[in-house]
């Protein structure tokens, strides 16, 4: 056989594009060429593959070798094609022969390959292997994915996917020829919870804000906390993940896919059960927030998928960064377009933002006077556009409390039990959280009483609320009713939801 064709793939964001690795070994002057728009990392495969074949005990053909990575009009990156190229050369040059069939080469049509080779012939981890595994399971469910052992341990978590882990090129060749059996893979352990264990009982006072956090956790709503320094905004935000349920198996995979793309391929990695918590600094750039780079990688909003994105000093972020939140807050995903690449990442996160009421922070403080002029205050708040604020469900003012009882507050575990019960009710009723209700589903699931309808209509007319704000008030009202296990949304639920709109001003 002088021609071999193997299956591999490349990543555009978290989506895989199939790549055919076509290897031809023919007569002519000795040469080794890779075509199909390879980048520098792929072109360097020639030296890695040559050394790996020789150091694995095989002969490197003294012939004209051409490797085509099809389709040829898409740029190829990384060394994940090394294993497929090396096996293709061995297959095309007749060095792979089945154990029980003399001169019969093994059939590799049912396999999908991804692995980088070292000069010794060892197969080392590749970046994005978990995203590849999920895509292979969806696009080629009948194929067996061949990965380095370290990557295959993670890929074993993908349901209904056949995975083989190999340690070296020689081991892979022996396996496909029937000379060696590979040990079964064991799923890699889940990552433990990192850092100190936080609890909402550590926050003294601020009952309105505590209620807002419970509502946010129960319905998947976004929150904006406003108040002077030292009132507990950051403490409350850091404890929101403690109110959320553990990630389900499918969510664990989705989160792991995104976080693995951010890390170096050789770094130890595992799936985690706790929701992610991301807290970027206010100097964060637009590409760091939404994703980007020479080879597109997920940003902070995608790394917070199925978790919490905390943005402290909210108005201090660049205006373009703040405006970039509008699309994912509405749709739960982000689309990134570059000159030669396009990618789409999931970004279904809960935003919790914190801000001071003015540049000095003491506007409305009971004990300290504000030094800011009205112009400074207006300029400070103008950094947040109206359309962005409209997309944040809960606006909460945190006052300075000088006389607070030090009695023990309710724990995160007790609140999480109510949150879990409420979320289960929502999933059974509408198959999504209240914050994700759209269009016809919103009208069907939010059944307002007559008094509640009248109250909402008066509020819309009085404050000239756009439809987006009215719908968010309805979603929050539905969550408040769910927490009380009420089928209908009553007047008191709408009234309380209205209190969480535009309440980021000092109360006099």
Q: Using pLDDT thresholds of 50, 70 and 90, give the confidence band for residue 43.
A: confident
Q: Using pLDDT thresholds of 50, 70 and 90, give the confidence band for residue 17.
A: very high
Q: What pLDDT score was predicted for residue 337?
A: 82
pLDDT digits (tens, 9 = 90+) for 240-275: 999 999 999 899 999 989 988 877 666 667 778 899
Q: What pLDDT score was predicted for residue 508?
A: 45
pLDDT value at 186 more than 90: no
| Kind plus residue range of the DSSP H or E element containing 27 | none
For the four alpha carbons of 346, 253, 472 and 231, in that order, the dihedral sign comes to negative
Q: Using pLDDT thresholds of 50, 70 and 90, give the confidence band for residue 182.
A: confident
pLDDT digits (tens, 9 = 90+) for 340-379: 778 889 999 999 999 999 999 988 888 888 999 999 999 9
Q: What pLDDT score was predicted for residue 190?
A: 57
pLDDT value at 466 more than 80: yes
Report the distance separating Cα 125 and Cα 116, nearest Å. Answer: 7
**What percentage of the chain carries pLDDT values higher than 70?**
93
Partners of residue 362 on adjacent β-strands: none
pLDDT value at 324 more than 60: yes
CA angle 429/430/434 to nearest 5° reads 105
Judge contact between 380 and 315, C-beta under 8 A. yes
Any idea what DSSP says for residue 200?
Answer: G
pLDDT digits (tens, 9 = 90+) for 299-318: 999 999 999 999 999 999 99
Q: What pLDDT score was predicted for residue 264?
A: 66
Partners of residue 68 on adjacent β-strands: 22, 35
For each of the domains in the chain, give its residue range(s) and CATH number, in order of start. 3-176 (3.30.230.10), 200-434 (3.40.50.300)
């Amino acid at each position: 056989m002088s021609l071999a064709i193997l299956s591999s793939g490349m990543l555009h964001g978290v989506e895989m594009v199939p790549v055919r690795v076509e290897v031809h070994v023919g007569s002519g002057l000795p040469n080794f060429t890779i075509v199909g728009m390879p980048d520098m990392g792929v072109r360097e495969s020639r030296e890695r593959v040559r050394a790996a074949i020789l150091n694995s005990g095989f002969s490197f053909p003294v012939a004209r070798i051409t490797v085509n990575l099809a389709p040829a009009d898409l740029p190829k990156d990384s060394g994940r094609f090394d294993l497929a190229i090396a096996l293709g050369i061995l297959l095309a040059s007749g060095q792979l022969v089945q154990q029980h069939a003399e001169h019969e080469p093994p059939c590799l049509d049912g396999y999908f390959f991804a692995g980088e080779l070292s000069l010794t012939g060892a197969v080392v981890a590749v970046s994005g292997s978990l995203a590849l595994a999920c895509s292979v399971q969806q696009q080629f469910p009948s194929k067996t994915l061949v990965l380095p052992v370290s990557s295959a341990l993670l890929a074993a978590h993908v349901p209904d996917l056949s995975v083989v882990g190999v340690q070296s090129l020689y081991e892979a060749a022996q396996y496909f020829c029937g000379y060696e059996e590979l040990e079964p893979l064991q799923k890699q352990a889940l990552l433990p919870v990192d850092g100190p264990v936080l609890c909402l009982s550590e926050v003294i006072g601020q009952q309105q804000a505590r209620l807002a956090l419970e509502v946010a956790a129960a319905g998947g709503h976004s929150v904006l906390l406003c108040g002077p320094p030292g009132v507990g905004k950051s403490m409350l935000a850091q404890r929101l993940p403690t109110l959320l349920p553990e990630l389900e198996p499918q969510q664990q995979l989705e989160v792991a896919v995104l976080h693995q793309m951010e890390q170096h391929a050789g770094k130890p990695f595992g799936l985690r059960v706790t929701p992610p918590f991301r807290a970027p600094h206010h100097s964060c750039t637009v590409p760091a927030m939404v994703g980007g780079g020479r080879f597109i990688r997920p940003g902070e909003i995608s790394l917070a998928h199925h978790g919490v994105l905390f943005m402290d000093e909210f108005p201090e972020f660049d205006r373009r960064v703040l405006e970039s939140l509008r699309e994912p807050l509405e749709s739960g995903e982000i689309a990134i377009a570059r000159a030669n690449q396009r990618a789409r990442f999931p970004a279904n996160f809960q935003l919790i933002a914190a801000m001071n009421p003015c540049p000095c922070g003491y506007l409305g403080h009971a004990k300290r006077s504000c030094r800011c002029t009205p112009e400074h205050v207006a300029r400070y708040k103008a950094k947040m556009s109206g359309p962005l604020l409209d997309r944040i469900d809960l606006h909460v003012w945190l006052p300075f409390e000088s006389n607070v009882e030090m009695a023990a507050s309710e724990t995160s575990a007790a609140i999480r039990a109510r949150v879990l019960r409420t979320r289960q009710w929502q999933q059974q009723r509408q198959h999504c959280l209240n914050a994700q209700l759209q269009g016809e589903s919103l009208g069907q699931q939010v059944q307002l009483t007559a008094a509640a309808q009248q109250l909402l209509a008066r509020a819309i007319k009085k404050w000239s609320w756009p439809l987006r704000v009215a719908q968010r008030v309805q979603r929050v009202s539905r969550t408040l009713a769910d927490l009380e296990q009420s089928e209908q949304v009553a007047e008191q639920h709408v009234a309380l939801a209205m209190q969480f709109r535009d309440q980021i001003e000092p109360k006099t």
